[in-house]
Amino acid sequence: MEILKKKISYAVGQVLNDYLLKYGRHVESVPEIYRDLSRFSGTAPYQSPAGAETLWHSVMFPPGEMAELRPKLTRIYASLKMGGGAEVAQHLDVERIDFGEFGNSRPFRIRIINRYNDNFDHYYVKSADASRIYGLELEHILSPTRINYLINGDTLIEEHIAGLPGDVFLRDWLHRDEINEVRIAKEFVKFNERCFIRLLGDMRAVNYVVDITPDFEEVQYRVRPIDFDQQSHEGRKKMYMAQFFSDNQPMVEMIDNLLNEATIDQYRKEERTLVARRCTVAGLRLGGLLDAMSRDELSPTENIDQLGNELAEHHQSRAFKTCTTMGGIVRAHIGLLLDGLY
């Protein structure tokens, strides 16, 4: 299953911007730096620590331009992680800047290093896109993990989401002896359900990570999306179900072998209940977000009509009949699947 047309970028409108200001996501002190980073003078292919080719290129700037960029980039990191303050960034430096010429956001990956102990961290600078921001915010509200991001003008700053890339996990880890296959199967079912509830699409293996956490008796797994460009944009219902992407088939086959229908249904209901409780806790914030989303243009009319019709057939429901925007469909879908749970 492939995306047939490249998604355009949608501008951040006034209603969404007001929401971002209210909840501390729009920060005027964050430098609008995306265009400055786009003026790099050279590139070199970036290889992984294991020597494998990647989709990233390390970029270079003339010394004068890099001298101007460095304090801005360390200040952005301080704002993202510590709420700002130039004094807390004095011992930080920019070790490397990578550029990814893929996706709609065309990201820059910034590697920040602590000069005292050589510890490093990453964050991303991307071109601001309304549908991506809605995806980030829905993940923050409805998922079990929080999302850290900031925006100013055309510049979107995102914290790095740690974990094994999904394609690497499926290729190199899925069938290791130490992997608890039942636990990871359960987590993928729950991940698939979360994405479908809030209509986050394109969850191919390269667009999520697997977080592995040792626990006192066993190991816990969590599957987390890292790409939010396809938040309620495509018209095909299957685009919002990770199970239908071909590179996820090893996981789907394992689920079929290990979990029966009653167990899968249990895990789906567990996830819906947890999402419903998060809706209750963050009801005012979620309502404000969906109000803004319902007024924004996030997809062509034909996609809206197609998705509304396919979801109506899937659920045998008339809940989508009056929806004229993707935000309206998301609101109706959340309400339908979580009805009676919050």
Q: How far apart are CA 52 and CA 48, in angstroms?
A: 5
Instruction: Give 52's contacts (C-beta < 8 A, 6+ positions apart).
Output: none
- Joined together, the tokens standing for residue 272 give 């819906």
The answer, yes or no, to whether residue 99 has pLDDT greater than 90, is yes
Is 133 inside a domain boundary?
A: no
Q: What is the pTM assigned to this prediction? A: 0.95
| CB neighbour burial string for 35-51, b if at least 16 within 10 angstroms, e if fewer | ebbeebeeeeebeeeee
Is 139 inside a domain boundary?
A: no
Is 8 inside a domain boundary?
A: no
| CB neighbour burial string for 308-338, b if at least 16 within 10 angstroms, e if fewer | bebbbeeeeeebbeebebbbbbbbbbbeebb
Structural domain count of the chain: 2
Angle ∠(99,105,108) on CA atoms, nearest 5? 25
The answer, yes or no, to whether residue 211 has pLDDT greater than 80, is yes
User: Helix axis angle, 326-337 relative to 301-315, nearest 10°?
Assistant: 10
| Whether residue 321 sits in one domain with residue 174 | yes
Q: What is the pLDDT of residues 117-167, one digit of tens each?
A: 999 999 999 999 999 999 999 999 999 999 999 999 999 999 999 999 999
| Whether residue 205 sits in one domain with residue 221 | yes
Q: What is the pLDDT of residues 41-92, one digit of tens each?
A: 999 999 988 888 888 999 999 999 999 999 999 999 999 999 876 677 889 9
Domain that holds residue 265: 164-337
Is 134 inside a domain boundary?
A: no
Q: What is the pLDDT of residues 270-329, one digit of tens each?
A: 999 999 999 999 999 999 999 999 999 999 999 999 999 999 999 999 999 999 999 999
Model confidence band, residue 2 (pLDDT cutoffs 50, 70, 90): low
